[in-house]
Amino acid sequence: MENNVYSDYRSPLSTRYASKEMRYNFSEQKKFSTWRKLWVYLAKAEMKLGLSITQEQIKEMEMHIDDIDFDAAAKEEKATRHDVMAHVHVFSKQCPKAAPIIHLGATSCYVGDNTDLLLLRDGFEILLPKLAKVIENLSKFAKEHASLPTLGFTHLQPAQLTTVGKRASLWLHDLLMDERAIVRAKNDLKFRGVKGTTGTQASFLQLFDGDSEKVKQLDALVTQMAGFEKHYSVTGQTYSRKVDVECLNVLSSLGSTVHKICTDIRLLANMKELEEPFEKTQIGSSAMPYKRNPMRSERCCSIARHLMTLFNNTLQTASVQWMERTLDDSANRRITLSEAFLSADVVLITLQNITEGLVVYPKVIAKHVAQELPFMCSENIIMAMVKAGGDRQVCHEKIRVLSQEAGAQVKQHGLDNDLIERIKKDPYFAPILGAIDDLLNPSTFVGRAPEQVHEFIKEEVQPVLDKYKSRMNESVELNI
């Protein structure tokens, strides 16, 4: 078989969906160049604290941070069955002067775990502006349609009217919760730091002749060089895998939000009230040319489901970390962490594209409202009759009977709802005949929904958007 890029498995997350910056964040290049940076930080800190390391050795290491010989590393790993030592050997060959002090006193998790924490932090930084852009798009949409009456649904049955903008504000509310949770998870991240084989720092205590204070300073210096304010005070060989649980919890929660939003869009598209962007040359179906399938929303739901399942994986991994660590977390985390961030990246990119071009069909919405409103206005009619001197119980019974008749027309014969016509023809309702049309104005049924939308965006949404003003992308194009 010909050996080319198409003869090997490639994840759709990287080849088809995710962004270039998120793909790079979990790339081999970033991972292993970060290992080398961490070895430089360690050497610099050890030199500063008095170990016999020279500036020349540091400079030699810094010159080779990015020029990684991946083929040589693969050969070394095949021989040693140890990825960290393979890269230590390759790096040492490139830096012969620094070779004796590379990885000095450290264990594999010094580079492995600290790199993972850097990638988690940077992954959150990539996601947050994208989430903010979705929030901005939906806030504009909500304001534009804040007063447009539409059927509300409970139990997926027509209920009291709301507005298109108010429904979008419900989506926004959940996205704000996700933004808050992701920021909290990012800010809660600490550096593993310099902890040694089982987390006791014994090897570093030996290097510094039992000087505990210097070991503490070493931990603090490397943490600072890596761009973290704090490191975990205690670890085993690894940082607690509960950290991964917290990180993927917020991403899976984001997945549930996106799934709910896009499910709503798909349902509304079925009703022809709302439509996601549809390009001029886009094909909805290979067999049915007229179709305009909500494929972007379907993609979001599909990948969001995958994202939601990954959280359970981290729970199981954290639960089986025997004593100070066990290696059965390693292969699992290589897949789970990257896929969670890539999946979150995909759904946010796609949702941004959707929310940039949502199309509303007010006439279809008004038609659906008109079909159901007669049933919903019965209480208004009863109150108007009471004010005109009628008996509430008598009026209620009159409308109940007429409603059953109109309902039969709709359900059994497929005809339009003619309840209002029946009420107008009934002599009992003559005292309010001139007011009935006003009682049917949909805008009088939406309560404070328009005000709620504008208040919510001003008081809760805008302060969040202000944090990301300079970091939001204007628009995105989907790869496929």
Q: What are 8's two structure tokens? A: 């090997």
Q: For residue 191, what is the DSSP state?
A: B
Query: What is the Cα–Cα distance from 170 to 260, expressed in whole angstroms?
Result: 10
Active site residue 89: no
Q: Which of the following is catalytic: 7, 52, 155, 233?
A: 155
As a whole number of angstroms, the distance between CA 163 and CA 149 comes to 4
Task: Specify the DSSP element, H or E, that contains 154.
Answer: strand 149-154
Q: Which of 173, 212, 285, 443 is catalytic?
A: 285
Provide the residue type at 38 as one letter.
L
The Cα–Cα gap between 29 and 367 comes to 57
- Is residue 352 a contact partner of residue 395, using CB atoms and an 8 Å limit? no
- Report the C-alpha gap between 405 and 56 in whole angstroms: 93
**Residue 231, SS3?**
strand
Of 280, 301, 302, 283, nearest in space to 293 by CA: 283
The yes-or-no answer on residue 108 being catalytic is no
The number of beta carbons lying within 10 Å of the beta carbon of residue 111 is: 25
Nearest to 391 by CA among 424, 421, 433, 429: 429
Give the count of beta carbons closer than 10 Å to the beta carbon of residue 153. 16
Report strand pairing: 359-360 vs 274-275.
Answer: antiparallel
| Residues designated catalytic | 155, 285
